Amino acid sequence: MKKVLVTGGCGFIGSHTIVDLINNGFEPISVDNNMNSDIRVMHGIREITGETVRNYTVDLCDLEKTRRIFANEQFDGVIHFAALKSVGESVFKPLLYFQNNLNSLMNVLECCKEFGVPNFIFSSSCSVYGNATDLPVTEETLFQEAESPYARTKQMGEHIIEDFSKVNKDNKSILLRYFNPAGAHESALIGELPINKATNLVPVITETAIGKREKMFVHGSDYDTRDGSCVRDYIHVMDLANAHTKALQYLLENKNESNCEVFNLGIGEGVSVIEAVEAFERVSGQKLNYEMGPRRPGDVVAIYANNENAFSKLGWQPTRSIDDIMSSAWAWEKYRTEAAILQN
């Protein structure tokens, strides 16, 4: 059984990827400082898989503590999610994002080199493309100016890994540029659980629908899109999780063509914010209280993926739609709200 370190394993995408790794015969080990996550997600993982996943409560910006994890284990690969990810927050706290996201990445790479961990998967983002003029974007689409410090950390992170891979021939890396992860596990036992105030669209929608927010705002109504709102490529978190497993298998089977490869992960279709709201109303059967508001700093106008590279090389195929995303996210919202009521 191959052992995999999942950094940020208590987070949204990390926790769902742990489930997919277990379902595909891997032994995942988690590390998470729980800065923006909850260790209780491990209970949901155990209920779904029957497996208890070990978690190290460590800040990866601390090199010595990170080194001890690698010294205690023998990893076949690392999937690196751990990072701060709020676009809006990064605009107002740029140094926090540069310090956290880049230092943690460099420390993990340093340990991969020191302890001979050969396979590295990086959680990148479509935000690296900026306001791309040609859609859909391919892996060859040139980076535009980053629209936020968060996006800049992803651009810089990719460059760091590319340079690292050039001189460390025993290390193979994959950069996964994914679009807008959303939804929840079909069991409704794990899902997006923001510790700080949610800023991603789907949890904002479900929190509004269940009454945690009086109303929500659509940020921008005058963009050059079909209905004036931003357009995004929403991908179900379990489809995204499976892509990480397939990327790791691709490296383990030595199918990579170079030491550092890039893959877009999206469904390949753009959905506007208004269309996402309509999808929620369709699957939930209830009207959402929302208003049109001003543009939000850091947002790009429109972005969606050309995902043919991931299809052909990784053998990856997303199977869930925007309706599936909204249905599973709504089931998760109702489950966690009911659980909170019972605890009180």
Catalytic positions? 150
What would the 3-class secondary structure string for 299-318 be? CCCECCECCHHHHHHHCCCC
Per-residue tokens: 83: 């990072």
Element (H, E) at 119: strand 119-125
Q: What is the identity of the amino acid at 8? A: G
Closest-CA residue to 32 (of 14, 52, 51, 50):
14
Residue pair 185/11 in contact by the 8 Å Cβ criterion: no
**Sign of CA pseudo-dihedral 247, 248, 254, 256:** positive
Check: CB of residue 99 under 8 Å from CB of residue 106.
no
Under a CB-based contact definition with an 8 Å cutoff, are residues 155 and 146 in contact?
yes
* Burial class for 296, CB neighbours closer than 10 Å (0-12, 13-18, 19+): middle
Q: How far is 212 from 54, CA to CA, in rounded Å?
A: 33
Partnered with residue 235 across adjacent β-strands are 181
The answer to whether residues 247 and 176 touch, using CB atoms and an 8 Å cutoff, is: yes
- To the nearest 10 degrees (0 to 180), the angle between helices 94-115 and 149-167 is 20
